[in-house]
Structure formats: structure tokens, C-alpha cells
């Protein structure tokens, strides 16, 4: 049979948003013939990410990834999006980087003859971030640095501040994809971006207050309150903002700590010092990676209490998402403490959702897991944890929950 009849299709179309699933089909193969499917992308750092899976054509010479199981490779079993979430970097300890969302992420899918390594058919999936008509506005307003995403259509929309990881500066992918759902989202950097200080001695809550006020002033943003989405180190800043600033209605903390870490935070005459890590609790794994999971002491002990964020002062709703295989720190323990603090002050204003086997980075759907990588505060590669499939399932579940949470607490007065 001539190879020219073999076709690889990406359905419904080759172009889609990054958080949308696609269907991959191969047609024109010899019946029951094995075929390998490979996926590949190159990120903005030039790192290549790849996955592969072995399939067997049915009696009509077709492979439909939505129905056929992978028999081996990066994942096994029926998984329509396995070739995306199971991607791993060629360069170890690399995290997928997308600097700006003005261009899509290109994922090349190939059908390959395993015996000869010959490419039988290929197609490229363009995974974009912004719906038609969305505005992306770089922000340099006073001290504030970031990027504002405004969805198309008739506003006003609920507003959200998006804070990212310590080393990640800001995340345009999450902010833009969230904006597609009908929110105005400000991806806010807080150091090491443009002209912001690279190594600040402390962080001022006034900076974040300025950002909240800026967002609330936007004509496209409806009130009364706004939301915050945060992950890792910025989860603490989200808790600090929720404790001291007015106008915050809903706060998402993904794998956060209930006490301040790394850099002291100042607000007016209040100083919240950073917890001091317990060095003897740091382990080195067999492969030579640093494991800092148990490095932070219990923040509720008398000597550490100055570092606790006074979240009993907050008036917003909280969604704490925690991964049980988080090796950056013990986020389930910290979320439990945060919940207990709120409850002991008569506030049932929180939900905690826990993901077994997921790692520190719960990102947007179909983004591959980063089980280890460079840690900005530690200065070396550390374990972040997470089994790829469990992490992928957690990301999918959390993405729906986050939208639901913000819609129910920020969008009360729509039809």
C-alpha cells in the first residue's frame, strides 16, 4: 500500500485553544499494523518536549486515539490527550516556558513506522491562548508591571489578579486562558521583571494594593470585589492581600504556605518576617536532587508565629488546592492549618481540594508536569514531585473548579 494514502488528522481543527482537547486519527494504515505516534514541541527557551505511544490499527486500518489504547511508550491505555500531557523535556529539570501568548504553541504529531523509523504522516496542532478579539495590554502604570487580558464582548467582567511562582515572574498562558472564560485578568509580576528589582530585600504590600486598585478602576471590570489566583510563593502574597486589603472577594491558593517565606513582607508599619528553613530537614535524593519538602518549620509554633499571615482578618472566600506529592513544601499541612485558623474564628469561608500523587506545579490543562527543576530561592535543582497522569488529571479538575469558584463568588449579579 502506498504511504501517500496514510493521513493523520487533528479534529475538530488543527487550531484550538491550549486548554481544549483534540482528537487524533490516523487513516489508511494496513489493518492491525502497529504504528507509533510521536508528539514534539519546542518552548521559548529552545527546550524540546516529546512523547510517544504505540498503537495498533483496527481492521479498517485506522487508529482513533480517543478509542484505541496506547500499548506502550510515554503512557498506556486509552487517553485522548496523552501525547500532550505526557511530554517530557530532552533537557532534564526543564519547565515548559511560554513568554508571551501572542503566538500559539506548535505541537507536531507524527505517525511513524517503528521498524524503519519512517514518518508516514504528520500534522501540526496550533494551540493558542487568546480568543478572537481578546485584548492583551502590557501594563506600566506607576510601579505596576504586568499584562492585562480583556475578553471580547460586552463587559463589564469580573476582575482577577494572577500571581505566579517565585522564579516564574508572571504567567501569560494561565491569565489569558482564564480571560477567555469571561474575566479581566491582570498577570502581575512582583520582582525580576522589566525594571522591577531583581533581588528585593523585602516586598511591599502597597505594590499589590496599587495593582488591586488599578484593576478595580478598569472600565471593563465589574465590582464590587475582585479575585486572586496564586501558586507556590505567591500564595502567601495572596493570603497577605486577602488579610489586609479591601475589595478582594475570592482567593485561589495553589500549593501555598500559610506563613511568609523567602522575603519579608511590609505593609505600612507591619512587618511579616520569612520563616527560617530547618537546614537539617533538607534531604538529597539518590539522583542528587535537593528535596526541601520538610525544610520549613511548623509556622504555628510560638517562635514562628510572627511569620503567619493573619487570614482571620480576611472577608473573602478561599479555595486551597493542594497536591499530596508536592515536594516543594508540605502544602497539605499548611492548607489544613489555614482552614483551622479560619474555622477557629468562625469563618467557614474556605474549601480545600486535595490531589493524591500530583506535584507542586498545578498548571493549565494538558501542560506537562515538571517533576524537578531549578528553584529560584534555593539556587539549585529540587524535586517538585507528581506522577504525570495524576498531575494531568488534577490540572483538568482544578481548572474547572477555579472557573466555577470565581463565577460563583465574583459574578453574583449576572442573569
Pairing of strands 265-267, 270-272: antiparallel
- Can you tell me the distance from the alpha carbon of 190 to that of 255, in angstroms, rounded to the nearest whole number? 19
- Can you tell me the distance from the alpha carbon of 196 to that of 193, in angstroms, rounded to the nearest whole number? 5
- Can you tell me the distance from the alpha carbon of 54 to that of 394, in angstroms, rounded to the nearest whole number? 25
- Can you tell me the distance from the alpha carbon of 20 to that of 314, in angstroms, rounded to the nearest whole number? 35
Which three-class secondary structure state does DSSP give residue 3?
helix
| Among 19, 79, 162, 326, the one annotated catalytic | 326
Nearest to 185 by CA among 213, 146, 225, 223: 146
Nearest to 30 by CA among 7, 54, 57: 57
| Among 232, 249, 314, 331, the one annotated catalytic | 232
| Among 327, 360, 375, 409, the one annotated catalytic | 360
Which pLDDT score is estimated for 4?
Answer: 60
Give the chain's end-to-end CA distance (angstroms, integer): 58
What are the pLDDT digits (tens) for 188-211?
999 989 999 998 999 999 999 999
- Can you tell me the distance from the alpha carbon of 241 to that of 247, in angstroms, rounded to the nearest whole number? 10
In DSSP terms, which residues pair with 318 in a beta bridge?
251, 350
Per-residue confidence at 167, pLDDT binned at 50, 70, 90? Answer: confident
> Above 60 in pLDDT, residue 3?
no
- Can you tell me the distance from the alpha carbon of 213 to that of 179, in angstroms, rounded to the nearest whole number? 19
Cβ atoms of 33 and 122 closer than 8 Å: no
> Above 70 in pLDDT, residue 299?
yes
Tell me, yes or no, if 360 is annotated catalytic.
Answer: yes
State pTM to two decimals.
0.96
Mean pLDDT score, 200-228: 96
Tell me, yes or no, if 232 is annotated catalytic.
Answer: yes
Amino acid at each position: 500500500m502506498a504511504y501517500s494514502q496514510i493521513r493523520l488528522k487533528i479534529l475538530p481543527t488543527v487550531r484550538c485553544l491550549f486548554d481544549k482537547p483534540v482528537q487524533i486519527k490516523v487513516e489508511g494504515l494496513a489493518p492491525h499494523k502497529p504504528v507509533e505516534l510521536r508528539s514534539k514541541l519546542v518552548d521559548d527557551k529552545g527546550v524540546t518536549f516529546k512523547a510517544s505511544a504505540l498503537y495498533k490499527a483496527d481492521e479498517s486500518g485506522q487508529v482513533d486515539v480517543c478509542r484505541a489504547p496506547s500499548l506502550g511508550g510515554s503512557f498506556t491505555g486509552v487517553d485522548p490527550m496523552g501525547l500532550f500531557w505526557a511530554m517530557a523535556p530532552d533537557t532534564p529539570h526543564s519547565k515548559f516556558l511560554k513568554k508571551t501568548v501572542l503566538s500559539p504553541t506548535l505541537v507536531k504529531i507524527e505517525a511513524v513506522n517503528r521498524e524503519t523509523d519512517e514518518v508516514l504522516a504528520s500534522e501540526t496542532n496550533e494551540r493558542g491562548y487568546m480568543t478572537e478579539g481578546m485584548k492583551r495590554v502590557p501594563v506600566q502604570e506607576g510601579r505596576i508591571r504586568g499584562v492585562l487580558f480583556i475578553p471580547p464582548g460586552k463587559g463589564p467582567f469580573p476582575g482577577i489578579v494572577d500571581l505566579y511562582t517565585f522564579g516564574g515572574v508572571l504567567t501569560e498562558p494561565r491569565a489569558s486562558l482564564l480571560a477567555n472564560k469571561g474575566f479581566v485578568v491582570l498577570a502581575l509580576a512582583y520582582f525580576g521583571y522589566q525594571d522591577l528589582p531583581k533581588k528585593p530585600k523585602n516586598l511591599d504590600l502597597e505594590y499589590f494594593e496599587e495593582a488591586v486598585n488599578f484593576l478595580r478602576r478598569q472600565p471593563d471590570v465589574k465590582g464590587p470585589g475582585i479575585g486572586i489566583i496564586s501558586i507556590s510563593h505567591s500564595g502567601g502574597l495572596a493570603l497577605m492581600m486577602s488579610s489586609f486589603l479591601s475589595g478582594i472577594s475570592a482567593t485561589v491558593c495553589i500549593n501555598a504556605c500559610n506563613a511568609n517565606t523567602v522575603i519579608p513582607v511590609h505593609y505600612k508599619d507591619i512587618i511579616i518576617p520569612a520563616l527560617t528553613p530547618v537546614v537539617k530537614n533538607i534531604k538529597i535524593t539518590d539522583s542528587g536532587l535537593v528535596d526541601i519538602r520538610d525544610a520549613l518549620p511548623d509556622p504555628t509554633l510560638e517562635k514562628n508565629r510572627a511569620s503567619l499571615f493573619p487570614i482571620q482578618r480576611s472577608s473573602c472566600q478561599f479555595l486551597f488546592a493542594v497536591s499530596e506529592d508536592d515536594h516543594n513544601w508540605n502544602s497539605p499541612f499548611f492548607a489544613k492549618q489555614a482552614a483551622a485558623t479560619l474555622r477557629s474564628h468562625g469563618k467557614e469561608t474556605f474549601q480545600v481540594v486535595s490531589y493524591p500523587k500530583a506535584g507542586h506545579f498545578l498548571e493549565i490543562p494538558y501542560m506537562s508536569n515538571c517533576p524537578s527543576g531549578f528553584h529560584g530561592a534555593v539556587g539549585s535543582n529540587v524535586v517538585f514531585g507528581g506522577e504525570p497522569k495524576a498531575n494531568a488529571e488534577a490540572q483538568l479538575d482544578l481548572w474547572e473548579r477555579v472557573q466555577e469558584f470565581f463565577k460563583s463568588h465574583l459574578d453574583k449579579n449576572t442573569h
